[in-house]
Structure 1
Amino acid sequence: MIALLLVAVALANIAQPYPDLAPLQHGPTVLLLLAAPWLLRRWPLSDRAVMCIALFLFLHTLGARYIYSYVPYDDWARMLAGRDISTVFGLRRNGYDRLVHFAFGALLTGPLAETARRHGGLTRVWSVLFAFAAIGLGSALYEIFEWLLTLIAAGGTADYYNGQQGDIWDPQKDMAAAQIGSALTVLSAIFPLRRK
């Protein structure tokens, strides 16, 4: 999975449409992937948890190629289905970043809970509550990082990177999307679907 993710990052940088922002978008992913063998030996996780992390990183890598605001999912949907997603759902902005924030909560709550249970000694209930809180903290810290970037980076770079697309409530909506994703994962852990 690590090798596949590294290949995905490499492919995402071929004919990169936003070369100035590519290091900022892909650099942390590459560093995490390079550290992953050591991290997974030190704090092993189940295959399911690693798959959730890998799926999130694949979604992030795709978004990072297009600096999130310009992922051409409407073009892809028109080619495949003849209709675009924005029209179907009444979206006035590119919603890919919101999807990835939702995925952050939905996909990483399980691995965080597993880590807290396996390596932190928390009970099942406390580990799930810890993961839910950690998603909120991680989301808030990321939005603060984006805000600090707008203070440090040149105006155009900051606007491109943080992808607000003119929405002054973008940070709050992003954090809410992550918490909703996490809440759904928590609820599915508390009330697992029963097969008939």
Structure 2
Amino acid sequence: MIMNDCKSKRYCPVLIGLTGFYCLVFVFSAIAPSSRAVWVAEIIPALAILLIIWLVSSKFQFSRTAYVLMFMWLILHTIGAKYTFANVPFDWFNQLIGSQRNNFDRVAHFSIGLYAFSIAEYVYRNYMMDKRSAMMFALFAIMSLAAAYEIIEWWYAAVAGGDEGIAFLGSQGDIWDAQKDMLCDTVGALTALTLFVLNTPSRE
């Protein structure tokens, strides 16, 4: 397991290594994206989350597991920004589940839910919540963020309009896309919290 904390150093080597790898993915994503406007709109939240991770990590060191789970979404989202989520080369997975729809965005939404692990860890260790309360807080936080992002996505698509708005929305003609995205976020959170139960980080 990759649970050990990095409390002896200012920044965890895993965080530094993952950030280095993310920078390579970022460069790959930035080179000739399908739509530069969509890329900018998609990459801003990714960079904001990366900045928040580093700012929080300057005072609070997450476990290695938390860092790995957090970077999964960053990497997937940045890849999606390059192609637009509906056009990421993902045929092998779509064929595996027998779907004609590109489900890369669903996997990316699932990875958002994995942040529940780091949220639960933070409040469990920093605010001395009991495990159950920390997990419930993390679950509701992810569900709230998922709903908020769908609202922002709708707003941007409405303002941008045209092909750019459709590409950013990424619904691919599914009228229940927003609800399914939020479900994927929630399933990801429940998966992360199951891992949290099995490997609860030390409070020390």
Q: Distance in 2 between matches of 1:62 and 1:71?
A: 8
What pairs with 1:85-104 in structure 2 (closer than 5 Å)? 85-104=93-112
1:6–1:33 CA contact under 8 A, matched in 2: no
Q: Which of 18, 21, 43 is the aligned partner of 2:38?
A: 21
The answer for the alignment partner of 1:170 in structure 2 is: 177
Shift of 1:185: 2.8
Shift of 1:12: 1.1
Q: Distance in 2 between matches of 1:13 and 1:171?
A: 27
Pair 126,149 (structure 1): closer, same or farther in 2 beyond 3 Å: same
Shift of 1:24: 0.7
1:93–1:165 CA contact under 8 A, matched in 2: yes
2:85–2:105 CA contact under 8 A, matched in 1: yes
The answer for the alignment partner of 2:189 in structure 1 is: 182
The answer for the alignment partner of 2:140 in structure 1 is: 133
Confirm whether residue 153 of structure 1 aligns to residue 125 of structure 2.
Answer: no
Q: Which moved more, 1:27-36 or 1:127-136?
A: 27-36
2:33–2:81 CA contact under 8 A, matched in 1: no
TM-score normalised to structure 1 length: 0.84
What pairs with 1:40-55 in structure 2 (closer than 5 Å)? 40-55=57-72
Matched residue type, 1:68: F
Q: Distance in 1 between matches of 2:45 and 2:86?
A: 19
Q: Distance in 2 between matches of 1:28 and 1:88?
A: 30
Shift of 1:35: 4.8
Q: Distance in 1 between matches of 2:49 and 2:192?
A: 24
The answer for the alignment partner of 1:61 in structure 2 is: 78
Pair 187,39 (structure 1): closer, same or farther in 2 beyond 3 Å: closer
Identity of aligned residues (%): 29
Q: Distance in 2 between matches of 1:179 and 1:58?
A: 19
| RMSD after superposition | 1.9
What is the number of residues matched between the two proteins?
182
Shift of 1:151: 2.5
Confirm whether residue 4 of structure 1 aligns to residue 11 of structure 2.
Answer: no
Q: Distance in 2 between matches of 1:90 and 1:50?
A: 32
The SS at the match of 1:166 is coil
Q: Which of 84, 100, 118 is the aligned partner of 2:125?
A: 118
Q: Summarize deviations over 1:39-98 as a string: whole Å, max 9, x none.
A: 211333122211211122111111221111101121xx4xxxxxxx33332212100001
Matched residue type, 1:29: A
Structure 2 residue runs of 5 or longer lacking an equivalent are 1-17, 200-204
Shift of 1:189: 3.8
The SS at the match of 2:58 is helix
Q: Distance in 2 between matches of 1:88 and 1:103?
A: 19
Structure 1 residue runs of 5 or longer lacking an equivalent are 78-84
Shift of 1:188: 4.2
Q: Distance in 2 between matches of 1:114 and 1:56?
A: 18
Q: Which moved more, 1:121-130 or 1:39-48?
A: 39-48
